[in-house]
Chain A
Amino acid sequence: MNKNKEQLLNKRYRAERRFRLYGQSAIFMALLFLTIFIFKIFSTGYTAFQKTWLIVPVNFDAEMMMIDQNPSKEDLQDADYYDIALKSMADLDQNANDDQKNQLKRMVSYFFEKEIKNEILNDPSLIGKTKEVYLTASDDLDQVFKGNYPRDLPEDQRRVSDYQLKIFDHLVAKGKVESKFNISFFTYADSREAELAGIASSFMGSIFSILVCLMIAFPVAVLAAIYLEEFAPKNRFTDFIEVNINNLAAVPSIVFGLLGLGVLLAIFHLPRSTPLVGGITLSLMTLPTIIIAARASLKAVPPSIREAALAMGASRMQTTMHHTVPLSMPGTLSGTIIGLAQALGETAPLILIGMVAFVNTIPGSPMDPAASLPVQIYIWAESAERGFVEKVSACIMVLLGFLIIMNLFAQIIRHKFEKKWS
């Protein structure tokens, strides 16, 4: 009898140990996947924050720029920089033939003309002199310099010719190639050229969408939640509404995209591809999330507080506005931020309402066409050029950083304000 009991006890202990092991291995697996994921993104993406520059001597010849020796500001603005730009690149190899000159030109981005222009606009005294100017390297050379380019491929399968590589290696040997922090990744809009593509447009697009989403979803959702929780009679109709709000939260986001396409664009003719439409569409998606969070935190306010206020002769409205709602706000706000973070990462509905269009301007208002960060990731991931691979990962990093900050903010709000009265 006693022995049986001991066996049983041992069995129970073993079961517990086994269960713990299962739990630990589950957590280990989760952490492993997360680490692999983050490592992969960082290892492919970190190079995107560096940009390769070629340092090329430029002779600011007034005659070639078709200006006189003492030009006015306007003259400098309108001057012809193409010729001196072309010449500076061609001069890298004195013996280059026409085809090779063309190849030399393609070693830098098509912004080279502008970069040279900026140089002289900053310092007009350069006219007639020669100065070494930083020019953005083409995305392929950028990748070569970062070691991401398979140089041993046969030449006809490469976008960089042997000749270009020879000149480039020569420049590297002379120390005329430099890698610097890639500011343009944050200040430029999207571009077909990987070396000039940046996230400014999609970043602003995301911000505007989220703001529109917040301004629509938050008031509507909070009012709906307060009404449903504090004022609405509990009957079959309100039950029906509650069930459907929960259902709405589970509707696939692409359905909301179709709604935005069918209603906002087709019927109301709002401007296509804009954060305004994106924000409205996302707000439909965020609405149930915020309603559910707000109702949960209203429910969590102890009934004794409501009773205390009512017993003091406060009306229902006063009870709600003076006591229940302020107490529920931390929960509501952190729910709202979580909902917005969800909306921020949403891609499918935005693609449907046209925010997937190629936008190479930075939007100044929610009415201007824009992309958004997740859509930008999608666009770049589709692009064939090698230079976009690291950009995809870099954009993911920015998006993840954004999300982490938002979640952190939600946590802080929750802790700070809930502690106050505990």
Chain B
Amino acid sequence: MIKIKAKDVDVFYGKKQALYNISLDIEENQVTALIGPSGCGKSTFLRCLNRMNDVIDICNVKGEILINDFNINDKSCDVVRLREKIGMVFQKPNPFPKTLYENVSYGPTIHGMAQSKQEMDEIVETSLKKAALWEEVKDRLHEPGTGLSGGQQQRLCIARAISVRPEVILMDEPCSALDPIATAQIEELIDELKKEHTIIIVTHSMAQAARVSQNTGFFHLGHLIEHGPTDKIFKNPDNTKTQDYITGRFG
């Protein structure tokens, strides 16, 4: 089933065009990887999906992005509601400089998702469990989140993102600042999370894309060159540029 449907998306930074005519369908409860060389626009596209580009004054997005058949670029779309449904995990772990508990409970608090302390405790516990962090931190929930290791911090950010039960989770190179063991943990986690969430992950590592994703889109210089099932993109791409990138000839 199609969860997100992007139609002819153009993005401009001032006068400079960053994305050209992107049309891409994203399957529900699957992992879609976006790959491509630096500066190709894959992160920009990802940030279109929860309208994080709004923060950048000079950024201008054109075209339609339908999530559950609703155009999020429409004026009637409320970004606060949108971002409640579309969570995001960033490249560098960015926990709030507050306690672990406050980090995870922040989303549910501002969206009024818990009526009582017990409910909130439950949300925090399940979120941390789903992020495979509970066992490591259950005794120090009230210590600062910034005291964790890099990999733990990133899982904390994932716990924070899933605490509001988003339908979609966007991940912008979530493992680029982590060591191989932490990366492996996050990848396992992604595999687990796709049962309940639709995941879109931007990654520099083709091996990672091949390991975690079912679908892959290849971006180059602002164009979506090719997209399809990961197997096909990696084993038998239609486009020579894709072939060249995947075999390491550029990028």
User: A-side interface residues toward B, CB under 8 Å?
Assistant: 233-234, 302, 304-315, 318, 322-323, 327, 420-422
Contact = CB atoms under 8 A, between A and B. Distances in A.
Interface residues of B, number: 28
B111 A308 contact: no
Nearest to B147: A421
B80 A304 contact: no
B223 interface: no
B80 A308 contact: no
A312 B55 contact: no
Contacts of A309: 96, 106
Given A313-B80, A313-B83, A314-B110, A307 B55 contact: yes
A313 B110 contact: yes
A305 B90 contact: no
Contacts of A310: 52, 55, 83
Nearest to B166: A313
B176 interface: no
A311 B50 CA distance: 8
Contacts of B110: 312-314, 318, 322
A322 B160 CA distance: 16
29 contacts: A304-B94, A305-B96, A307-B55, A307-B88, A308-B90, A308-B94, A308-B95, A308-B157, A309-B96, A309-B106, A310-B52, A310-B55, A311-B50, A311-B90, A312-B110, A312-B161, A313-B80, A313-B84, A313-B107, A313-B164, A314-B80, A315-B80, A322-B106, A322-B110, A420-B97, A421-B97, A421-B144, A421-B146, A422-B146
Contacts of A420: 97, 144
B57 interface: yes
A316 to B, nearest CB: 9
B97 A327 contact: yes
Contacts of A327: 97
Contact of A307 (B52, B80, B87, B111): B52
A313 B51 CA distance: 11
The dominant DSSP class at the A interface is helix
A305 B57 contact: no
B159 to A, nearest CB: 12
Given A234-B57, A312-B106, A312-B160, A323 B96 contact: yes
Interface string B218-238: 000000000000000000000
B52 A311 contact: yes
Contacts of A307: 52, 55, 88, 90, 94
Nearest to A327: B97
Given A305-B94, A310-B83, A311-B161, 14 more contacts: A302-B94, A307-B55, A308-B95, A308-B157, A311-B83, A312-B107, A313-B81, A313-B84, A313-B164, A314-B106, A315-B80, A322-B106, A420-B144, A421-B98
Nearest to B94: A304
Contacts of A422: 146
Contacts of A306: 55
Contacts of A305: 94, 96-97
Interface in B28-49: none
A-B residue pairs, 10 tightest by C-beta = A421-B97, A304-B94, A313-B83, A311-B88, A313-B84, A312-B107, A308-B94, A313-B80, A314-B110, A315-B80
